[in-house]
Chains A and B, each alone.
Chain A
Amino acid sequence: MSDAVRGGVLEDQIDQWRGFVRRRRAISPSDVEEMEDHLREQIADLGANGLDDEEAFLVAVKRMGNLGEVSREFAREHSHRLWKQLVLVPEAEDDAGGLSRWRELGVVLACALGAGLAVKLLFTSVDGEIAQIRNLAFVVLPFLAGWFAWKRRVTWRACAAVAAVAAVPALAVNLYPFETTPGPLPSPGMTAVLAFTHAPVLLWLLAGVLHTGGNWRSHERRMDFVRFVGELVMYLALIMLGSMVLVGLTFAVLALVDVDLEPFFEDWLLPFGVPGALLVAAWLVEAKKSVVENIAPVLTRVFTPLAVLMLAADLVALLVNGPLTTVDRGLLILMDAVLVLVLFLLLYSVSARDPMAPAGVFDWLQLALVGAALAVDAVALTAMLARIAEFGFTANKTAALGLNLVLLVHLVWSAWLMAGFVRGVRPFAAIERWQTAYLPVYAVWAGLVVLVFPPLFDFA
């Protein structure tokens, strides 16, 4: 064997060893470098004493010690390394300029500031509380969508298409001749409220198209958006919580000197803070994507068993104490809320599940959850259907019933697929695919409520 070949074998072995050590999270790359230098010195010394490369390598590795024990020792010294840390601004690379690594943060902050200015402009230039509220989503979400577009390098054509589609509900909520309820304090009618509440949902899903980078047909990208939304909600909640503490303390301290923060709070802090929090939370979620465990799926693990218990108790109570006393729109909305909760529990555990893993206890639990939710909904619906004819179909009732049906289809088919999966006749991927395949239905439904319901129900 020539020297070159022997050296190559040794290098391969050292490479392999380095790969093993690197997998230990407690041992940092610079530690690996330090230990590799040690290993090479040892091998050279042993070689000088007459051992061949392979023997020297084996002895040197043996002397280095059991990797598990060494790594535990490193972990004791550097325990923080076991906690994944979020690096928000990447370390300066040798070839990258100092400014470019701040670019992303700069764009996010610019978008946050833009959204704040837009909200401020909306509040100062548009008269009427209702006109302000119905346009809120239309002035904030474009900045988030714009940031998605920048981050994913979406083509201008895709951006223009999304903007054009988004303009339709924007025009509808502002130009439809909605009627207001008569009385001394006129408030928006049913169809107006429905349109105002459903438009943000539609807009949010459109922003999702840009989050997928325009590649919205891809099921993987759709699932990424679902994951993103789950984490965004968690981060937003945490940021809001922190902000409340901060604002509360500021209020209290300023009250000591009789300074009233409220005008500033309402005029500036809220219009800039809330959209800013949304953008910053979105940026954090994107930055942490692969670094920190997703929180939403962890919560679903905790709440799925509890939700099964809750729904089982509800079902028993409904069946024992029936028939239902008040059968109205409130009941339908309540059932919608129950189904949405179950849907989120299902969606977020599906989003984090390894599709290759075999069916386990948790999958059965989830099937039980969906089954219990469907049973509760069925009890409510049968009580409802008998009497819905006497009440007639108002816009609100139709919207609530329609959403219930949309959710029902989603959950019934999920339950069917899950039953197939736990019995081992269907792959898990089918369940996952159904979740993402069904997402556009919600956009279509929201679009219907915004665009078709008002003319259908005479803008009442």
Chain B
Amino acid sequence: MSATFVGMPAFPTAARGALADTQLRHNLAHATSTIRAKRAAVVGEVEEWEELRLAGAAVKEAALRDLDTHLVRLEESLTARGATVHWARDAAEANEIVARVARDHGADEVVKVKSMATQEIGLNEALAEHGIAAWETDLAELIVQLGDDLPSHILVPAIHRNRAEVREIFLRAMGDVGRPAPADLTDEPAVLAGAAREHLREKFLRAKVAVSGANFAVAETGTLVVVESEGNGRMCLTLPEVLVSVVGIEKVVPTFADLDPLLRLLPRSSTGERMNPYTSTWTGVTPGDGPQEVHVVLLDNGRTRALADDVGRQALRCIRCSACLNACPVYERTGGHAYGSVYPGPIGAILNPLMKGTGRPGIEGEQTDSLPYASSLCGACFEVCPVRIDIPEVLVHLRSKVVDGHRGDTVPKAEAVAMKAAAWSFGDSRRLGWVEKASGVAGRVLTRFGRTTLPGGRSAAGRIAGPGASAWTGARDLPAPPAESFRAWWRRTDGGRGEEGSS
């Protein structure tokens, strides 16, 4: 795969291109509104939904509070059941571990269960460098992989594609990597799924090594859980001889009973189903049944950095349901690629800066720092989050970290100067009064140029050149500042008591 998020521009620039893609806009609007409606319907069926959200948040919060204890317990339980546990500080370490396991078995290919953690660490690309092909077996991941594309959604990574595009990709690319698509392939969803099934089946039956992530890891029993819809995961988890699971350290829950609220919250929030079709659980090695060599890679890769942030750590409660993406009006317009990460949307706008850190130099740092601003703070994400992550709160917090990271700059940004000026005028009402007087005069001057009239009759400014002004007036008229501010009116008329015609 040659497609990469590395070197992506900051969000506003990346979004501009996405907004101009009419096919993308249409696909996304359709897909997100469909899934929003499905979610709303099944969530509405659960009377105690709010209590369930609180319970889910509490389980994850308790797990995170004593994360070290639970992780050591998980390692003990897994080891006792015959699994091999590896610890990986970062992507490079994790990738190296998976490659070594595959190489030890002489494998030149692995089949994969859909997994965000392996996307995050760029496992497929790393394995390719070792001459090992990683086959995605989730339908949407397969579409992305065959299209040499990048995922744009956590749950539905090919959400930016419609079925006509999927058909073209299958016809073009399947034959290069295995069984080709039938020549008479139509864009009927069932026909497309049938072609994918035929294509994948030979890979399931051939592969010796499988790679997965995990939705949950139970410390007390050493049980890993994968939740999925298509059965491809079940194939990967049961057929090959060797199974390697890359698991973010925040996936641990203390007890088996803790799965209860989470398994009820996840499908309704994620696919809008009451229950997901396949829930696979496995506990180390079961002699004579399933993979006989089981590895678990516990991955940090910035999670402890997020944990150290006392406001931001709630993001580690995330169960990757993607309800926040579907609810987000920004995501609906721009799609996932603009976020420059496998974690897009509102959760990506906080997870990326939390795990990578803010204020890093260079284009990558700039890209990360742009993400907390990729939100209108409308709060729709928090409203649907099954584990009650207050995403707007974390976004604002991260914005302050971005700003604080630049306080030592020798040449301050124009925005910083503007904010200082605003703080000065808002610090004292007399100063604000002078500013308003000046703005009234400026307004009368400005509206002489590009003068227009708002519906209802108020005069306004049309397009105005210059930074800031052009950003607003490029597509929006701007009401002209009134000649008299409210405070000036209040003083002149004694709060309207001295004004003719006021009641």
Do A and B come together as binding partners? no
